[in-house]
Amino acid sequence: MSRTFVTGDTHFGHTQAIALFKRPVPEGDVTAMDEMLLENINERVGKRDRLIHVGDFTGPLPWRGPARRSSLETLRSLRAKIRCRRVELVVGNHDPTPSVARRVFDDARHILSWRGWTGGPERIVAFHYPLRTWQGVMNGAMHLYGHMHGAFEPVGRSIDVGVDCWSHAPVLLDDVLASLSRIAPPERESPLVRRQHLRA
């Protein structure tokens, strides 16, 4: 039976990420960082599983001009080292456009929104950036994001699924959603909702 894992903000090839995000490899050794992250993915995520990556798969790469082809090959090479059958990308600020990313990943889009998961009917909204509100929030929808590397306080049923928050490895989607489901959705008459009505 296949499982779904989530992760984000791997920043493959980004030497500065080691010091910026305090990654447990020798400073400047980007090969060690990439190998650690790939090993952690392949240890947790099985060949038949699905991996949703919420963006910044690599660090900054040129996605315009003649260097674009080299960037695409870098992406392909990294994807080939991940053994699971399906990898989907929710593009981040360092990633190419979805149309380019789909040449490498099984799917790529700016936002991923779907309803239903094992154990619950709520909507899940995955986006690279943390949102204050999202589709279905008043009905219990849950929001998965990255970008902040653990430096942002979650709002309601939202959570940073980037590697720097989860021991530099993907996390099982069922576990994340089960944890979020214990948080009550906002009440319709909460101060946030009242302020939104006043401004409308």
Tell me the C-alpha distance between 80 and 6, whole Å: 18
pTM of the model: 0.91
Tell me the C-alpha distance between 93 and 65, whole Å: 18
Q: What is the pLDDT of residues 62-97, one digit of tens each?
A: 999 999 999 999 999 999 999 999 999 999 999 999
Mean of the per-residue pLDDT values of the chain: 92
- Would you state the pLDDT for residue 193? 53
Tell me the C-alpha distance between 23 and 150, whole Å: 13
Q: Which domains does the chain have, with CATH numbers?
A: 4-199 (3.60.21.10)
Tell me the C-alpha distance between 71 and 61, whole Å: 6
